[in-house]
């Protein structure tokens, strides 16, 4: 079976203005909307499109997170994933540990592709896909904005600082998505009903027997220094005069 594994992280929705708790112990999460990491939704969409084109037989969504992550996995099933696995962990785990968990499932499920987001918008690490590829000793194509598949290779266009780079990787491979890879579909009501019947397995992180201990300690969080609101100028002449006075033009 030609399988695509997609890694989805549950994160604070990107529209929420994140605030640091007054004691610096974390960010405010009470009553805050949680969603699938936007890049991971793009990863799932890409996997679905490949399957719909006949390039794969099954899309498996996997997430490591608290029990509530079942909601996000149900949404992934409603979008069109065939099955889902939640690796339950009350504690957040770091990219190297996520990569080890994903590797365990890669070995079990032997996918042709693993698609992840290029970064989780909470920790902003941008590490997991590259780490998985290293541990799996397989190619990585990060920051993908275009993906073309043949039987044995993937041709991937990557968004790099210089512009667009194209590389070719042998399958199986790890891909991480950039925003312009695709636009994820909206979920329709009948899909939500259908998703209820699809398999969602829940396994305890501890049952995998992996080292998932933190290697870094977050000592504290602080809000960023705030920029002060400046002044309004009335017209182009005043703007240019002000900038000239400051030696900026």
Partner 1 sequence: MNRILIVAEHLDGKLNAAVAKCVSCASAIPDAEIDVAVLAIDGSAVAAAAAGIAGVKRVLLVKNAANEPALAAVLAPQVAELAKGCSHVFGPSTTFGKDLMPRVAALLDAPQLSDVMAVESATRFKRPVYAGNAIATVESAAGRQVVATVRVASFQPAAAGGPAPVETVAVAAELPSHTRFVSVTAARSDRPDLQTAARVVSGGRALGSKENFALIQGLADRLGAAIGASRAAVDAGYAPNELQVGQTGKIIAPELYVAIGISGAIQHLTGIKDARTIVAINKDAEAPIFEVADYGLVGDLFSLIPEIEKQL
Ligand X SMILES: Nc1ncnc2c1ncn2[C@@H]1O[C@H](COP(=O)(O)O)[C@@H](O)[C@H]1O
| Touching partner 1, residues 86-105 (CB under 8 A) | 94-96, 99
Short-list 209, 217, 9, 201, CA closest to 119: 9
Residue 63 interacts, among ligand X, ligand FAD, partner 1, none and using kind-specific CB cut-offs from 5 to 8 Å, with ligand X
Helix (H, G, I), strand (E, B) or coil at 37: coil
Phi/psi at 149 (5° precision): -115, 140
Residue 8 interacts, among partner 1, ligand FAD, ligand X, none and using kind-specific CB cut-offs from 5 to 8 Å, with ligand X
Contact characters 104-143, ligand FAD, x per CB under 6 A:
-----------------x----------------------
Report residue 203 as tokens: 């396994």
Instruction: Report the alpha-carbon distance of residue 212 to residue 219 in Å, rounded.
Output: 19
- Nearest approach, Cβ of residue 34 and ligand X (Å): 13
Instruction: Report the alpha-carbon distance of residue 134 to residue 149 in Å, rounded.
Output: 21
Among 92, 104, 134, 187, binds partner 1 (CB under 8 A): 134
CB 165 within 8 A of CB 158: yes
Residues contributing to the site for ligand X (CB under 6 A): 7-9, 37, 39-40, 43, 63-65, 95, 98, 116-117, 119-120, 123, 125-129
- Identify which of residues 157 and 177 has a Cβ nearer to ligand X in the complex: 177
Contacts of 106 (CB under 8 A, 6+ apart): 5, 114, 132, 136
């Amino acid at each position: 079976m030609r399988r695509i594994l997609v890694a989805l992280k549950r994160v604070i929705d990107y529209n929420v203005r994140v605030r640091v708790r007054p004691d610096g112990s974390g960010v405010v999460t009470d009553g805050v909307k949680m969603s699938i990491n936007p890049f991971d939704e793009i990863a799932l969409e890409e996997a679905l499109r490949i399957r719909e084109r006949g390039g794969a037989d099954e899309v498996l969504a996997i997430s490591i997170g608290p029990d509530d992550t079942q909601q996000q996995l149900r949404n992934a099933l409603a979008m069109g994933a065939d099955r889902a696995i939640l690796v339950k962990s009350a504690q957040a785990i770091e990219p190297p540990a996520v990569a080890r968990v994903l590797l365990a499932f890669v070995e079990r499920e032997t996918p042709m592709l693993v698609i992840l987001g290029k970064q989780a918008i909470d920790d902003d690490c941008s590490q997991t896909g590259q780490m998985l590829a290293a541990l799996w000793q397989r190619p990585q194509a990060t920051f993908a904005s275009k993906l073309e598949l043949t039987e044995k290779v993937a041709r991937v266009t990557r968004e790099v600082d210089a512009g667009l780079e194209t590389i070719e990787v042998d399958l199986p491979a790890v891909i991480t998505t950039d925003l312009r890879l695709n636009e994820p579909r909206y979920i329709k009501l009948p899909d939500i009903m259908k998703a209820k019947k699809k398999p969602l397995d829940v396994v305890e992180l501890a049952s995998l027997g992996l080292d998932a201990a933190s290697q870094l300690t977050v000592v504290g969080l602080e809000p960023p220094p705030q920029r002060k609101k400046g002044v309004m100028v009335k017209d182009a002449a005043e703007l240019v005069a002000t900038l000239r006075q400051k030696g900026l033009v």
